[in-house]
Amino acid sequence: MTVGFQFLHAADIHLDSPLRGLSGHDGLPANEIRQAPRRALEKMIEFAVREEVKFVIIAGDIYDGDLPDSNTGLFFHLQLQKLRNANIPVYIIYGNHDARSGIIKNMPSFSGVHVFDAKKAGTVSLSDDDAEICLHGQSFGTRSVSENLARNYPSPVAGCFNIGILHTSLGGYQGHDNYAPCSRENLTAKGYDYWALGHIHKREELLRGNPCWVVYPGNLQGRHIGEADGENRKGATLVTVENGVVSDVRHEPFDEARWAAVKVKLEPDDGEDGLHEKIRQEFLRVAENSPVPVIARLTVSGRAKANDYLRNNRHNFKETVAPLLASETGGRIWLEKIRINTEPLSSLDDAGVNAGDVLRGFEFGKDGEADAVFADVRADLERISSPHALAALKLEPDSFLAKLHAGDCNEIAEDIRNDLLARIRLGE
C-alpha cells in the first residue's frame, strides 16, 4: 500500500470565548482579543485549502459552553463550507465545552463533515488512490466524562492508516479537569498509527512514533495569561504520512496574538533610569521575536535601588510604562498587568526608624507572626466564600486572595513589609 498525504490536527478552538477579566485591564483592546479565536480559525482554514491537505481533524472544544450568540455557530458553519468547497473532509469530536453548548444541537449537517457519535466510539473510512485511512472517535455526551473512553475504541483496521481522535486529560494535567482519563498504555495498546488528542492547551508530542504518535496540538489561540507558552505561538499540527508511516509532524502557528509572561530582573545598582531601560530592552526583544501582537504581563523582581520608587508608584506605574511600549514597539505590545516583586537594599534597622511592633511582625522569616496577623482576615474570607466559590473564581496563583486562601501568609507579609518600608524610607 502506498500512502502519501497530509492532514491537519486541531483542537480547543473556543470560538467567542468570553475572556472574562479583560474589561478590568485599561488599555487592552478587548474586542480585538475576543475576535482572535475567529481570526485564528480563518487562518487555519485558509492554510488547509492552500496546502490541499487530505482532511482536517478537530479534537473537541470548538465552542466555549452555551454561548448566547447564534452567530458563533453560523461563523463556524461558514468556515466548514470553505473546506467542503475545496473537497477537504472534516472529522469532529465534541469535547467537554461543546457538550454543554446549545449551538451544536442547531448545527446543520452537510456532506464532507463527520461528527462522531457520543453514545459509542465509531469508525469512518476514507479511501482513494493515495491512501486507505480509518478514523476512530467518540464525542462527549455530557460535560463531565469520567469513564475511560479509549478502552472501548474499535480495533485498528488492517491495511489502513489508523487514527484515534480523543478528547482527554490522560492521567491528569494541572489546570485541566480530569475528563475521559486514560493512560498512554491504553492508547498504544490499540495499535493505531496516530492519536489526535484534544483538551490540553499546551502543545505536546507525548509519543513520537514508537510505537505510535500521540499528540496534543494545543489550542488554536491563547485566551489569557495562563496560556502563555514562552515564545511559542498557538496553532495546529500538520502531519505528513508517506508509505503508511508518519514522516513529519510540524506545528503550524495560526494565532492572532500571543500572551507572554515577561520578566525583568534588577541588579542592586538599578535605579529608576536603569529600571526603564531594562524594561524597554526586554520588550523590544519580545516584539522582535513575535510576528503577531503580544499581550504581556510584566514581572519586575530583584533587590535594587528602584524598589522604593516602584512600590510607591505601583498604582500608576502601568500608565508610565504603557506609552513607552507603544512608542518603542509600534503598538505591537499590549500591557495586561505589572507585578512588582522587588526587595529593598536595606532592612528596617538600616532605615533607622522605629516602625513599631506591627511593622516588625511583617519581617520575612519570623515563623508564625504573619500567620497570626492574617488569621482573622483569613477566617472572614472563609465565612463569606466557600472553597468551591473560590475555586470557581479561578484565582490567579499569585494573587492576594489565592495566597491568603492557601495560607501563604509569610509571602503576603513580605510584600506588605516591602511596601511599608518603601513608604517609610521616602518619609510618607
Instruction: Annotate 59-77 with DSSP letters as a single string.
Output: ES--S-SS-S-THHHHHHH
The overall average pLDDT reported for the chain is: 82
CATH superfamily of domain region 4-253: Metallo-dependent phosphatases (3.60.21.10)
Whether 160 contacts 128, CB under 8 Å:
no
- Please check the confidence at residue 421 and state whether its pLDDT lies above 70: no
**What whole-number percentage of the chain has pLDDT above 90?**
52
What's residue 19's pLDDT?
60
d(CA 324, CA 357): 41
Q: What is the pTM of this model?
A: 0.80
**pLDDT digits 0-9 by tens, 198-234:** 999 999 999 999 899 999 999 999 988 888 888 889 9
- Please check the confidence at residue 376 and state whether its pLDDT lies above 60: no
- Please check the confidence at residue 386 and state whether its pLDDT lies above 90: no
Nearest to 40 by CA among 3, 5, 79, 84: 79
- Please check the confidence at residue 334 and state whether its pLDDT lies above 80: yes
Whether 392 contacts 407, CB under 8 Å:
no
d(CA 335, CA 314): 14
Nearest to 335 by CA among 285, 297, 287, 284: 297
What's residue 177's pLDDT?
63
Q: Choose between 223 and 385: higher pLDDT.
A: 223
Query: Which grid cell is 414?
Result: 513580605
Instruction: Respond yes or no on whether the N-terminal peptide bond of residue 211 is cis (omega within 30° of 0).
Output: yes
Whether 9 contacts 190, CB under 8 Å:
no
d(CA 173, CA 202): 10
Distance of CA 313 to the CA centre of its chain: 31
Nearest 10 degrees: CA dihedral of 370, 375, 380, 381? Answer: 50
**In the predicted model, what is the mean pLDDT of residues 134-161?**
93
Q: Is the dihedral of CA 327, 329, 333, 336 positive or negative?
A: negative
Give the pLDDT band (50/70/90) at residue 134: very high
What one-character DSSP code corresponds to residue 107?
P
What one-character DSSP code corresponds to residue 173?
B
Q: Where in the chain is the domain with CATH 3.60.21.10?
A: 4-253
**pLDDT digits 0-9 by tens, 276-328:** 999 999 999 999 999 999 999 999 999 999 999 998 888 889 888 888 888 88
| Residue whose grid cell is 533587590 | 303
What's residue 129's pLDDT?
77
Give the pLDDT band (50/70/90) at residue 365: very low
Q: Choose between 169 and 357: higher pLDDT.
A: 169
Strand 55-59 and strand 90-93: the pairing is parallel
d(CA 361, CA 366): 8
Rounded to 5°, the CA angle 306-311-312 comes to 100
d(CA 137, CA 152): 10
**pLDDT digits 0-9 by tens, 261-270:** 999 999 999 9
**In the predicted model, what is the mean pLDDT of residues 23-40?**
76
Upper half-sphere CA count for residue 79 (Cβ side, 13 Å): 24
Nearest to 334 by CA among 295, 383, 286: 295
Query: Which grid cell is 314?
Result: 505601583
**In the predicted model, what is the mean pLDDT of residues 25-38?**
77
| Residue whose grid cell is 506545528 | 251
